[in-house]
Structure 1
Amino acid sequence: MPKLFIQAKPVLEKIEQAGFQAYFVGGAVRDYLLNKQISDVDIATSATPAEIKEIFPKTVDVGIEHGTILVIFKGIPYEVTTFRTESEYADFRRPSRVEFIRSLEDDLKRRDFTMNAIAMNRNFTIIDPYLGKAAIENQQIRTVGRPEDRFQEDALRMMRAVRFVSQLSFSIERTTYQGLSDHGFLLEKIAVERILAEFNKLLAGENKTEAFKILRETGIYQFLPGFKGCGHVLAEYEGLDTAGLKELIENWTLLVHLLKPADIDSFLRSWKMSAKQMKQIKKYVFYLNRRLQGSLNKIDMFHAGLETTLSLEKIFCVLTECPEEAHDTDQIESVYQSLPIHALKELAVDGNDLIQWSARKAGPWIKEVLLFALEGVLEQKAANEKEAIREWLCRCNLI
């Protein structure tokens, strides 16, 4: 039994000693049955938040309106949530009203997929009213009850279903699959940030190619920012061997390259990405285009950096359908390490030197001349020494 369950067992025992029910639920139970590593555990209970606060001296109200209390037990935080039912989902994401109940089975009934509607008691006995264990054994994603009910309650569950295909290499049960086709339009009701979180997890999965196929065949892709009318791009992605692209930035770079949006900034902003992520992706796309035109030169490698250069080589291999081992990464590292400098601050001259040598006022010209000096040093036209750089700039009539 995983250590996290054993550590948390006394929490369940204390709740039961107070006269209530308590169980392990959700992803931790699913991953335990899949023999996957467990990072945390969630607990469901018949006790109300107020009753939980009476049982444990240290608690934090993290989502009390939805029945969730953070219990601090022996220095370890545990999310403890009261059994509940949920009323109409007015925004296809959040219930209009939450009602606390005392029934575990009714609590599990409101969950998304049968594989996530399994509980385990303090004796580590499985409680499985919706046959989630069988779904896991059959490697199948199936909604609890009718797909249209679950997807209309929370449209993000459709992206979760496809994400689980990528992460677990499961298939989607027939009626659930049809539900994706019928209700994909509801994703337009969901905050883009939540869709992005699921899509990023999808990109990190081992079976992302199959996930892309499902997005295309069900038509869900049309409701993803910037993907409308781009089913052919998804088909192209499916035909590529992307298994070697492990980093999120690599996968987004490949997608942007294939999509070729008219305005990369607008496309990335439509996904509500952070400015940092946008800047990084645009940098990768820029140097990928240069790599596709030929090997990156020393100046490109300097500005791109070693990590980016190596990632670009992997993407290049995917696009050109050549084995990654055909490209000598050791040689790339060797060339990069041989550069005279690896950061602009290592350049032996600065703007003050240029002003002193030229007697000119400060202005945009300084940046241009410094970049020229940098390229000269990288191309070994001048040593990275003040006098050597000064002599070279004089010969080029720049100072």
Structure 2
Amino acid sequence: MTNIRITEVFTQAMPVLEKLEEAGFEAYFVGGCVRDLLLERPIHDVDIATSAYPEEVKETFAKSIDTGIQHGTVTVLYGGSSYEITTFRTESGYQDFRRPDKVTFVQNLDEDLKRRDFTINALAMNRQGEIIDLFDGLGDLKRRVIKAVGVAEDRFHEDALRMMRAVRFMSQLSFSLEEKTRQAIINNHELLSKISVERIREEFVKLALGKDSRQAFKDFLATGLSEECPGLAGKKDQLSVFTDLKAGPDDEAVFWSLIAVLINLPADKISPFMRAWKNSNAMNQQVRQIVVAFDLLSRGEESDFDLFEIGQENLEAALKLAGLLGKPLSSQVLLDRYNRLPIKAAGELAIDGQWLIKEGIKPSPELGQLLRKALEGVVSGQVENNQAAIAEFLAI
């Protein structure tokens, strides 16, 4: 065991451990919060493991919520904060390669730590600040490696999503994969197909936006994980460009746009691809708009009205995408052109459909055509944005 300086988030939670111990139970901080404390990374909440059974936890604290009581987790409200407290447990029988068929509560911290995914996440800390390290997680933190607890093949058969978590942690922590863990992913990557796309997407996006995404992406491809992902099978060569970028993406929509461009998705195939990944309709639409804008800007054929239709957010995203791909677009020139547009939104046009009706235009396709003509005229600088000038321009 080793000692570490305890930070504020742990100090605030210390009374929870004290209360459990006063009631006769063992209690420890466990998992990612301990890892991040040792790595001096930001910590937003802490996880607590205890020898107390869920009902005993509820009896110890006045306020609690049964957030996952069947798996031993109770959320306790204490001192103005909420804390997830989970009973020491073992797990067995993973028929769906994700969730255990059976959870057994135990009284031993060692047994609880054995079920965890990676050595750096199998660390515990007591309220004296002593670190309990059964699997040399501290050594792996120093060596900056992601290593499975025990037999890697067993850990991935228990939960196939752990393979994606491995490369995600590589990206977020700038760690490398321990060789036996890497080989186990290569041997078992097909199991990822058993996992819901939503869970895979969550890890994939975290990987992409991590500080060392390019190296992690290289292992995402090399281990075969990409072959089990929607729309990416057989695309290793195209996707390998990601690993050679000068920088990784820092925005989710830009990331998906980058993937779409790398695998040469035509505009009409972007939405089906995004839907296959279970992305939101809003994200689907934004990515399609960014890719279309990027293609247009890359050809250098954009008019002022094109810039108007692209809009500032998508223009900036398309320019980010171009920067990632090393495309020599004149970003500042394009942004300056956009900023000089007379109006930035259709709602700023001096006329609308009601005004045209008052001027004698009946509701019809012609009305929509006149509105668009007015909008194009104002944006392109052919006519000033006032009702009199637009009326003359439209000859009504």
Per the TM superposition, whether the score is higher than 0.5 is yes
1:237 to partner: Cα distance: 1.9
Alignment partner of 1:319 is 2:318: no
Provide the rounded CA distance (Å) in 2 between the counterparts of 1:378 and 1:156. 50
Residue pair 1:240, 1:321 contacting (<8 A) in 2 also: no
Partner of 2:169: 164
Q: Deviations over 1:297-351 (max 9, x none)?
A: 32222222223212211211222355xxx8453x544433322111111101111
Partner of 2:312: 306
Provide the rounded CA distance (Å) in 2 between the counterparts of 1:295 and 1:51. 69
1:50 to partner: Cα distance: 0.2
Residue pair 2:231, 2:273 contacting (<8 A) in 1 also: yes
Provide the rounded CA distance (Å) in 2 between the counterparts of 1:328 and 1:235. 26
Paired residues in the alignment total: 389
Alignment partner of 1:364 is 2:365: yes
Alignment partner of 1:25 is 2:30: yes
Partner of 1:294: 300
Partner of 1:259: 263
1:56 to partner: Cα distance: 0.3
Provide the rounded CA distance (Å) in 1 between the counterparts of 2:366 and 2:324. 41
1:296 to partner: Cα distance: 4.1
Question: Over the residues paired in the alignment, what is the CA RMSD in angstroms?
Answer: 1.5
Secondary structure at the aligned position of 2:325 is classed as helix
Provide the rounded CA distance (Å) in 2 between the counterparts of 1:313 and 1:295. 15
- 1:35 aligned residue (33, 40, 50): 40
Provide the rounded CA distance (Å) in 2 between the counterparts of 1:241 and 1:179. 30
Partner of 1:378: 379
Residue pair 2:208, 2:217 contacting (<8 A) in 1 also: no
Provide the rounded CA distance (Å) in 1 between the counterparts of 2:381 and 2:48. 63
- Which one-letter code corresponds to 1:276 in the other structure? A
Alignment partner of 1:338 is 2:352: no
Residue pair 1:151, 1:157 contacting (<8 A) in 2 also: yes
Residue pair 2:271, 2:285 contacting (<8 A) in 1 also: no
- Percent sequence identity is 46
Provide the rounded CA distance (Å) in 2 between the counterparts of 1:303 and 1:371. 12
Q: Deviations over 1:80-129 (max 9, x none)?
A: 01100011111000000111111101101000000000000001110001
- Which one-letter code corresponds to 2:79 in the other structure? K
Alignment partner of 1:85 is 2:86: no
Secondary structure at the aligned position of 2:48 is classed as strand
Provide the rounded CA distance (Å) in 2 between the counterparts of 1:369 and 1:218. 57
- Which one-letter code corresponds to 1:348 in the other structure? A
Point out the more displaced range, 361-370 or 158-167: 361-370
Residue pair 1:249, 1:281 contacting (<8 A) in 2 also: yes
Q: Assess, with a 3 A threshold, how the Cα gap between structure 1 residues 238 and 295 changes in structure 2: closer, same or farther.
A: farther
TM-score by structure 1 length? 0.94
- 1:240 aligned residue (240, 245, 253): 245
Alignment partner of 1:53 is 2:54: no
Partner of 2:114: 109
Alignment partner of 1:353 is 2:358: no
1:271 to partner: Cα distance: 0.3
Residue pair 1:213, 1:234 contacting (<8 A) in 2 also: no
Alignment partner of 1:194 is 2:195: no
Provide the rounded CA distance (Å) in 2 between the counterparts of 1:343 and 1:69. 50
Q: In the TM superposition, what are the counterparts of 1:119-138 in structure 2 within 5 Å?
A: 119-138=124-143
1:202 to partner: Cα distance: 0.6
Q: Which sections of structure 1, spanning at least 5 residues, go unmatched?
A: none
Secondary structure at the aligned position of 1:78 is classed as strand
Q: Assess, with a 3 A threshold, how the Cα gap between structure 1 residues 168 and 376 changes in structure 2: closer, same or farther.
A: same
- Which one-letter code corresponds to 2:236 in the other structure? G
1:277 to partner: Cα distance: 0.8
1:215 to partner: Cα distance: 1.6
1:356 to partner: Cα distance: 3.4
Secondary structure at the aligned position of 1:280 is classed as helix
TM-score by structure 2 length? 0.95
Q: Which sections of structure 2, spanning at least 5 residues, go unmatched?
A: 1-5
Partner of 1:389: 390
Residue pair 2:319, 2:331 contacting (<8 A) in 1 also: no
Provide the rounded CA distance (Å) in 1 between the counterparts of 2:72 and 2:59. 15
